[in-house]
Amino acid sequence: MDRRRFLALGGLTAVGALGSAPLVASATAARTPGPARGRPHWEALRRSVDGAVLLPGDEGYEAAHGTYIKRYDGIRPAAVVRPRHAEDIAETVRFARRFGVRPVARSGGHSFGGFSTGKGIVVDLSAMSATTLADGRARVASGARLVDMQDALLSRAVTISGGMCPTVGIAGLTLGGGFGMAGRKHGLTSDRLTAIRVVLADGRILLCDRHHHPELFWALRGGGAGSFGFVSDFEFETFPADEPTVFELHFPWAQAVDVLPAWQRWAPEAPEDLSAGMFVRTPDPAVEPQLYAFGQWSGPAAGLERQLDRFTALVGREPVRVVKKTVPYLDSVMHWAGCSDFSVSQCHGEGQTPDGKLHRFEYALTKSSFFTRVMSRDAVRTLMDRFTAAGPGAQLRGLEFHAFGGAYNRPHPGTTAFVHRRQRFLLQYLAQVPVNSPAAHKEGVTRWARDLHSAMLPWASRQAYQNYTDPELKGWRSAYYGSNYGRLVRAKHRYDPGRFFDHPHAIGR
């Protein structure tokens, strides 16, 4: 069972494109909204935007209102607006202010905290999905899904750092940092940014970069989504796509006490040509977990052999199964997406494309911890015991480790808003049960994730990844943003002084 199936169990268009001209910093003047006048006048909004405005009862609303996580299907927005360009977003923001309706933006709808939905207006960016390329820079509209962006760029033999989930939206991925299988060599997704176009709370459309609105540009590179404005377009510096080698090394679960510390010593200190992770998963606590290291190598073949030999020497045992193949870059993207047997069009959620085959997440949740040191054997034993602890009903459980170091850690923690530049590795805790499960099963899987996360805190750094939204996380300001939080608050006061853009983990709360 591949990573995508585990999580999901239970092109180039003219719309939204920036065109071939480079982004230049400027602003579109705002029309100040008038005072609220009773109930929202939805027909007026329909007349003022080019995109669709879907209300409860309208054809298409039921398919549009849900996120990628079924857990939040019970939240029914007053309207779902699908803008076709930045001015549509601006008009929707002005409308929302005029009538006192809270808007939230949705790119891919993957927020585990449900922050991409609400009872007000959902600004669904999926109609703005273009990817264009000029002068080595990619211009990507904020509703593009990762697999479509990569397909478009790789048709021109270039790419950017990206994640592993094919249906994640580029906006959420980028604004929270963004790591993946090229990151130790090429940095975070947000590290590749050269410019951003964003709609502010007063309806202005700003183009910001290192020289124009630099504080906003700083904040949007790791400061999380939904705090400063709604992004319409990104510009990224690309790099040439190679033919990487992807690999997996499988070990028996009983050897985890040796394998996990060995991986933690090896992967974060390996050459930057290597990006690596470790996955632990089981479809049910009664089933022995799978344990395997995975990764991608972009250097000479002999170098990978030396690295894998070093890893197995640290483990002290040979893997029971090895998967290793050199492939075109798009094939590596599809491999990590769990879509090796699918077309790009099929590598979408059901309903996102005519032939999309991927299932939405059910009742899913996540937590995360960064670590600056290798886990002790006692820590690994605690992890193993808590991971396999009994619970009510069948529970999909997963642990996903990702090595940092390399280009991730090269910048100073204050260079961008992404503060996690001194971490050794990231651990994500994943859990899922069917959305129609009894309340006791949902409470059980939540308790399992909470207990495991708490048990690892003595060994963790107390930092957490802001894209793995965890509504239960106490001290999230420090965990997500550390020493950068004060500067983020100052940027919030400057660009959204009325806190119009808000959610439970918004900057300034």
pLDDT at 24 over 60: no
Residue 36 has what pLDDT? 54
Alpha carbon 57 to chain centroid distance?
A: 31
Token pair 């470790």: residue: 278
**Among the listed residues 271, 266, 273, 291, the one whose alpha carbon sits nearest the alpha carbon of residue 281:** 291
* Interatomic CA distance for residues 328 and 193, integer angstroms: 24
Helix (H, G, I), strand (E, B) or coil at 367: strand
Residue 502, sorted as left (phi over 0), alpha (psi -120 to 50) or beta, turns out to be: beta
Beta bridge partners of 80: 54, 122
Q: Which amino acid is at 129?
A: S
| pLDDT tens digits for range 190-205 | 999 999 999 999 999 9
Give the strand order in the sheet containing 121-124: 52-54, 79-82, 121-124, 103-106
Higher pLDDT, 447 or 285: 447
- Cβ atoms of 166 and 339 within 8 Å: the answer is yes
Residue 21 has what pLDDT? 38
* Interatomic CA distance for residues 112 and 446, integer angstroms: 13
Fold observed for domain 38-126: 3.30.43
Residue 391 has what pLDDT? 86
CA atoms within 13 A on the CB side of 181: 29
For the CA atoms of 269, 271, 275, 279, what is the dihedral angle to 10 degrees?
A: -40
Residue 498 has what pLDDT? 96
Q: Where in the chain are all domains bearing CATH 3.40.462.20?
A: 245-326+362-473
- Please write down the HEC assignment for all residues of 250-298: EECHHHHHHHHHHHHHHHHHCCCCEEEEEEEEECCCCCCCEEEEEEEEC
Q: Where in the chain are all domains bearing CATH 3.30.43.10?
A: 38-126
Q: Which stretch of DSSP H or E encloses residue 80?
A: strand 79-82
* Interatomic CA distance for residues 269 and 403, integer angstroms: 9
* Interatomic CA distance for residues 281 and 290, integer angstroms: 5
* Interatomic CA distance for residues 287 and 267, integer angstroms: 28
| pLDDT tens digits for range 293-345 | 999 999 999 999 999 999 999 999 999 999 999 999 999 999 999 999 999 99
Q: Cα-flanking dihedrals φ and ψ of residue 196, to 5°? A: -140, 140
| pLDDT tens digits for range 439-497 | 999 999 999 999 999 999 999 999 999 999 999 999 999 999 999 999 999 999 999 99
What tokens does 495 get?
A: 């660009």
Question: Which CATH number applies to 245-326+362-473?
Answer: 3.40.462.20
Angle between helices 329-336 and 146-154 (to 10 degrees): 170
What tokens does 345 get?
A: 């069009």
Task: Share the mean pLDDT of the chain.
Answer: 93
Q: Which amino acid is at 337?
A: A
* Interatomic CA distance for residues 72 and 83, integer angstroms: 22
* Interatomic CA distance for residues 341 and 446, integer angstroms: 33
Average pLDDT of the residues in 47-61: 98
Token pair 């910048």: residue: 411
Residue 285 has what pLDDT? 87
Give the strand order in the sheet containing 396-403: 321-326, 245-251, 290-297, 274-282, 396-403, 425-433, 363-371
pLDDT at 28 over 70: no
For the CA atoms of 387, 388, 389, 395, what is the dihedral angle to 10 degrees?
A: 90
* Interatomic CA distance for residues 96 and 56, integer angstroms: 17
Residue 38 has what pLDDT? 74
* Interatomic CA distance for residues 408 and 27, integer angstroms: 32
pLDDT at 15 over 80: no
- Cβ atoms of 401 and 263 within 8 Å: the answer is yes
pLDDT at 115 over 80: yes
Q: Which amino acid is at 383?
A: L
- Cβ atoms of 206 and 197 within 8 Å: the answer is yes
* Interatomic CA distance for residues 469 and 467, integer angstroms: 5
- Cβ atoms of 45 and 58 within 8 Å: the answer is no
* Interatomic CA distance for residues 93 and 183, integer angstroms: 34
| pLDDT tens digits for range 206-246 | 999 999 999 999 999 999 999 999 999 999 999 999 999 99
CA atoms within 13 A on the CB side of 485: 16
Residue 37 has what pLDDT? 57
Q: Which stretch of DSSP H or E encloses residue 28?
A: strand 27-28
For the CA atoms of 260, 266, 267, 270, what is the dihedral angle to 10 degrees?
A: 180
* Interatomic CA distance for residues 80 and 91, integer angstroms: 14
Which residues contact residue 440 at a Cβ distance below 8 angstroms, ignoring those fewer than 6 apart?
392, 393
Average pLDDT of the residues in 350-368: 96
